[in-house]
Structure 1
Amino acid sequence: MPDAPMREDFINALLTPLEMGRADALAGNVAELMEAAGRAVARVILQRYRPCRVLVLAGPGNNGGDGRVAARYLAQAGWPVRVAGLAEATYEDVRRAELVIDALFGAGLSRDIPATVVALLQAARRIVAVDVPSGLDGGTGQIRGYAPQAELTVTFFRKKPGHLLYPGRGLCGEVVLRQIGMPEHVLDDIRPRAYENGPGLFTLPARDVTGHKYAAGDVTVLCGTLPGAARLACAAARRAGAGMVTLAAEMPMALPEAGLILRTDSLESLLQDQRRQCWVVGPGLGVAQAGAKLAALLAAGGRKIVADADALTACAGAPGLLRGVAVITPHAAEFTRVFGTAGPDKLAATRRAATLCGAVVVLKGADTVIASPDGRAAINANAPPYLATGGTGDVLAGLIAALLAQGMAPYEAACAGVWLHGAAANQAGPGLLAEDLPPLIPGVMASPLLRRRNHSLQ
């Protein structure tokens, strides 16, 4: 069955288990899809492993059917393969196998896996998972009692949120996505609202050849008595293309960068300048100051505001105070202060928060989630662990502000800022300091991947 080309508008779409079930039902050709899925699993294994003793643990549903088909193709290739259902598999069978194909339970599992199954999976030396490791909730990335560590996970048609959200992301190993002849038109009916973050979700602003610095956007970063955080936001905003960046401080201070404007005017005075349309409030301000200045900015109306750090803490338990803000960028503790704990479903919690505050919410972490009040959401997967260091969140706030100032809509600016932030961190590598990131942003923005994307949409 030939594969249709993947639709560009849905190329990075993520499907929940329920949506994937709907896709199967709309496609209708279950036997053909199972044959193609099993063949895809076998081909991936043949490409990555040398011949060895394989045990396929096959569950009772479609996941088990995929595993049985994979076993047939591996056997045809001359590999020693045995298939065992839940009733036949023993601990010794699993322990003797050099490779176990986990085709027990798919992504839609709604209960903890039994202790007998846990013991089998714990005995496996090496695991290739079909769709997801058994016990992993494909919708949330959470573990249903237990889920094994897979070396490789082969999934079909589109990834699921659980492939990108932790702890599931860490258990999947390498995730290989294969097309199996599922018709792309089923997505027109499903209309997925979650995506893997990447250049397909945004187009970076292009400079007008006759434009001037104010046409490229003006960003004002409010600064308190601890200026380091605000300076990092300013550096990122300048490197991300804002034509003018101002550090609005409470007192005169030395500036580390030529070209960065320092203003010590009152906030009321600065708001009289209508060119100052984009503001960053929160980093290093102190909670009381951040709350007061955020309220003043919102009362002035018509501004694009990125709220972070102390501005979020100032709204603890009162998400309505953030209405009128364009983007907020909380880490997990700040999110909890404002909205309550995210709980086991990070994607749903971030969407709910966006609805409550009316802003795009960037819930930062190893699996950052970006959610818009209209229900769109993206999960980011390009951030390295080196980003877990002080000040990198301030860089992200300034980066997003610069993109807003240049005319990007809040959701697209947030998606782009998060992806660029991760890409720059990957270039910096181990030992990254927050101040390493801004100089890397221009190179990432000029990368061939983004140039191809922008050119194709012009």
Structure 2
Amino acid sequence: MTQESHAILLTLAQMAEADRLAIQKGVPEFELMQNAGQVVADYITNRFQKCRVGVLCGPGNNGGDGFVVARLLRDAGWSVKLTFLGAREKIGQAAREHLDLWGRDDSPVNDVLEECDLLIDGLFGAGLDRDIVGTFAELIKRMNRTHKPIVAIDMPSGIDGATGNVRGVAVRAMASVSFFRLKPGHVLLPGKRYCGDVHLGQIGIPDSVLAKIPSQLWQNGPSLWTVPPYGSEGHKYSRGHCMVLSGDALSGGAARLSAMAALRAGAGLVSLFGAREALTAQAPHVTEIMLKPASIDELLADARNNCFVLGPGAGVTDELRRQVLAVIEAGRACVLDADALTAFESDPMSLFNHIHQYGAGKVVLTPHPGEFGRLFGANDKGVGKVELVRDAAQLSGAQVLLKGADTVIGAPGGRVVINANAPAILATAGSGDVLSGIIGGMLARGMSGFDAACAGAYIHGACAQRFGKEGLIASDIVAQLPDVLMAVAE
């Protein structure tokens, strides 16, 4: 199996299929459940001192895993209370067998919540298809009110494993222990916040089953893409020339951040272009960045200008619309951000049709949620973020990067990647402009649109992680790029 396969995210249905294929290959369901419980028990014994443990088991296989955890911890000398909120005759055979091995009457819920120091959530896991209401909802609220550490089996109960959404109410876990592959809900918000420390263990499902499970969803990371290395015989033009459109004389900072990010990301040359008065204002602030008071048509006449970043601080104008369409029609790689997206708010199909006709996988759209809504419409039906971005990429023909703490990147063919390494300090003015520049630098170096978007999002987050403290400003992200790029290359 490739490294990329370990970044695959599986939906509940796909995970169920993985279980089925493993059983078909001769791994009994009883053994899979035993192994899952062992992974959770090992996590607990490695991270907690012996204490009184309360295991809350629901009516499905998540509860079956809980039976195993309770027995293994009891056998290891821990004090364990278990409560089973289900009926023995309604659970699966493997779960019944493990319940019998537990061999004790279950404890009242009050005793578990009040007398135990550590709680194990084995109520529902990732498989919810409806909101939690009634008795279970009240139980989860009580669990949270205890303020005791909670370890969730697979996924905190109440979190939709496919979307990360809260289904009515959800357990706030200190940690979540999942199996084989993570689920989308582990990395999508708000689910990610409820999961706590996420640990992944293997339970005997062979990696070979993935060949029969057509997944198109991954967690972002360097196993999915490669930043083009510097060639020993290369030169600055072999690493591309990234052109960044400047805003007017009073709005040039955003474009300057993008340009510096593109240069630090490894583009061989970077130029700001636009009106002469705007570039005159830029001149005192740049040294390595060139200034091109040229029209878009003049710039497109030189094939060495292989990448454009359009939108940051540009102003919403008819001229910007023309520039965007001209760059796409010329077949150049481009990043469209901020004003370059808003400029098509009244007629997004004119942009999408142009991309479908000329884009050839080189166009990256980087909207924040507001810009996304202006281009693709409001999410009135509450569609999950993955499907929302997948549909947007298909409609637009572009690579769509929906920015956020859980940035989601989609390709027109249906592939989607979730980027989950962005710390909260990235929420600062100019951060998105730097992201556009990093992606532009990657495009200039020859990466595909989708790979450049994925690499840009990951590297952007890694730069903020490396800074690692409050007070981050956008130019700090740019300053971290050389070290992060070196680490990624290694």
Inter-partner Cα distance in structure 2 for 1:138 and 1:62: 15
Give the equivalent residue in structure 1 for 2:414: 375
Asked if the contact 1:317/1:340 (under 8 Å) is kept, the reply is: no
Give the equivalent residue in structure 2 for 1:47: 46
Give the equivalent residue in structure 2 for 1:250: 275
Q: 1:145 to 1:317 in 2, by over 3 A?
A: farther
Tell me the SS of whatever aligns to 2:272: strand
Inter-partner Cα distance in structure 1 for 2:287 and 2:435: 21
1:291, distance to aligned residue in structure 2 (A):
2.0
Q: 1:352 to 1:264 in 2, by over 3 A?
A: same
The superposition leaves residues 93-122 of structure 1 with CA deviations (integer Å, 9 ceiling, x where unpaired) of 323221111101021110111321122222
Asked if the contact 1:7/1:184 (under 8 Å) is kept, the reply is: no
Inter-partner Cα distance in structure 1 for 2:256 and 2:374: 25
Identity of aligned residues (%): 48
Give the equivalent residue in structure 1 for 2:165: 142
Give the AA of the match of 1:188.
Answer: A
Asked if 1:297 corresponds to 2:314, the answer is no
1:296, distance to aligned residue in structure 2 (A):
2.5
Of residues 458, 473, 483, the one that matches 1:443 is: 483
Give the AA of the match of 1:296.
Answer: A
Inter-partner Cα distance in structure 1 for 2:467 and 2:55: 42
Give the equivalent residue in structure 2 for 1:25: 20
Normalising by structure 2, report the TM-score: 0.88
Asked if 1:405 corresponds to 2:405, the answer is no
Give the equivalent residue in structure 1 for 2:304: 275
Asked if 1:97 corresponds to 2:116, the answer is yes
Asked if the contact 1:380/1:418 (under 8 Å) is kept, the reply is: yes
Inter-partner Cα distance in structure 1 for 2:203 and 2:374: 44
The superposition leaves residues 261-312 of structure 1 with CA deviations (integer Å, 9 ceiling, x where unpaired) of 101112222221111111011111111143232122223x211111000011
Give the equivalent residue in structure 1 for 2:363: 326
Asked if the contact 2:82/2:112 (under 8 Å) is kept, the reply is: no
Q: 1:317 to 1:151 in 2, by over 3 A?
A: farther
Inter-partner Cα distance in structure 2 for 1:399 and 1:451: 15
Structure holding more helix per residue: 2
Inter-partner Cα distance in structure 1 for 2:344 and 2:21: 45
Larger deviation: 310-319 or 435-444? 310-319
Inter-partner Cα distance in structure 1 for 2:293 and 2:449: 28
- Give 5+ residue unaligned stretches, structure 1: 1-5, 453-458
Give the equivalent residue in structure 2 for 1:3: none
Give the AA of the match of 2:368.
Answer: H
Larger deviation: 252-261 or 97-106? 252-261
Q: 1:319 to 1:157 in 2, by over 3 A?
A: farther
- Across the aligned residues of Structure 1 and Structure 2, the Cα RMSD in angstroms comes to 1.4
Of residues 306, 311, 323, the one that matches 2:340 is: 311
Tell me the SS of whatever aligns to 1:107: coil
Q: 1:350 to 1:318 in 2, by over 3 A?
A: farther
Inter-partner Cα distance in structure 1 for 2:30 and 2:343: 56
Asked if the contact 1:95/1:123 (under 8 Å) is kept, the reply is: no
Give the equivalent residue in structure 2 for 1:158: 181
Asked if the contact 1:91/1:120 (under 8 Å) is kept, the reply is: no
Of residues 236, 241, 244, the one that matches 1:221 is: 244
Give the equivalent residue in structure 2 for 1:236: 261
1:191, distance to aligned residue in structure 2 (A):
2.9
**1:62-141 superposed matches below 5 A:** 62-86=61-85, 89-124=108-143, 125-141=148-164
Of residues 222, 226, 229, the one that matches 1:203 is: 226
Which runs of 4 or more aligned residues in structure 1 lie more than 6 Å from their structure 2 counterparts after TM superposition?
none
Give the equivalent residue in structure 2 for 1:389: 428
